[in-house]
Amino acid sequence: MAKAHRHGRVQGHRRQRRLNVNAPIGVFDSGIGGLSVLQALQSALPHQHFVYLADNAHAPYGEKTDLYVRQRTHAITRYLLAHHQIKALVVACNTATAAAIHELRAQHPHLPLVGVEPALKPAVALSQTGHIGVIATRGTVASDKFARLLDSVQGQARFTVQACNGLALAIEQSTLPQQATPAQERITELLAQYTSAMGSFGTGPGQMDTLVLGCTHYVFVEKQLQALLGPDVRLVSTGEAVARQTRRLLEGAGLLNAGPADRSSPQGMALFTTGDLHGLQAAAERWLGLPPGSCHQAPAAI
């Protein structure tokens, strides 16, 4: 066993030496939600290259089994390593992080890895009423990782947690021209349904004055949520914290590219989807200002 362990460590160090400072950072999500994290990464790391993969053909992860999500996570990681030689990986999906980040760290000890989780601790620091709402996918809410996170802040605030089945899918569909109108109507309906089920929002005694967005997709309906809940309710997401952690890991590994990245080139910023290319193009243009040519169809074999 000791010999095998030493061999594994040597192999890990060899792989680490092959990581290239000019290689891209890999980012993936079950769909377009991770673009909100990519947006924060772009801002915090202006000299880095990025390759983003939206697994739209298998979305939403939040309504799939843990086994299914783990299998997709490993398949995508292998693809990004083999075909794009990524120097770091950001799992920009709460459900995939909860289901598989521990396995990724064990299998790829050489690779800087960053996951996302609902921002409960930052929300505790922000809340004045001590009552915090959390919306997330069913997969995230039901995960052991989320249970441990919730346990870690028990006693610091009161939490009302709501699983939002169908919301991430409706946000995905809102980028498709043929489905945009019914999807927007569905988003409005679901937001009203789920926030109403949670209770009272506001700054009064016992009200929820802070709402944690526990799915990266939900960042793209912040304006609708704010209009629904009122201007005094704070909305908390995870993109900026993920970007800061990514920078820390890259600095620690000596993998920060010091020169400016040409984001107009295919090497500077490339987005891939396993699903509908037009949907990703529309989302990338709408939320990141990227041209359609930056988006590509991913290989069917992933």
Please list the active-site residues.
Answer: 93, 215
From 189, 256, 198, 216, select the one nearest 33 (Cα to Cα): 216
From 129, 131, 142, select the one nearest 94 (Cα to Cα): 142
CA distance 277 to 151: 40
CA atoms within 13 A on the CB side of 252: 11
Both structure tokens of 221? 């309906």
Q: Where are the beta strands (DSSP E) in 39-165?
A: 50-54, 88-91, 113-115, 131-136, 158-163
Both structure tokens of 70? 């783990």
For 211-252, give the DSSP string.
Answer: EEE-SGGGGGGHHHHHHHH-TTSEEE-SHHHHHHHHHHHHHH
CA distance 246 to 37: 11
Q: Is 43 exposed, middle or buried (0-12, 13-18, 19+ CB in 10 A)?
A: exposed
Hey, which residues does 292 pair with through a beta bridge? none
Residues in CB range of 206: below 8 A, 6 or more apart: 129, 131, 200
Cβ pair 59, 168 in contact under 8 A: yes
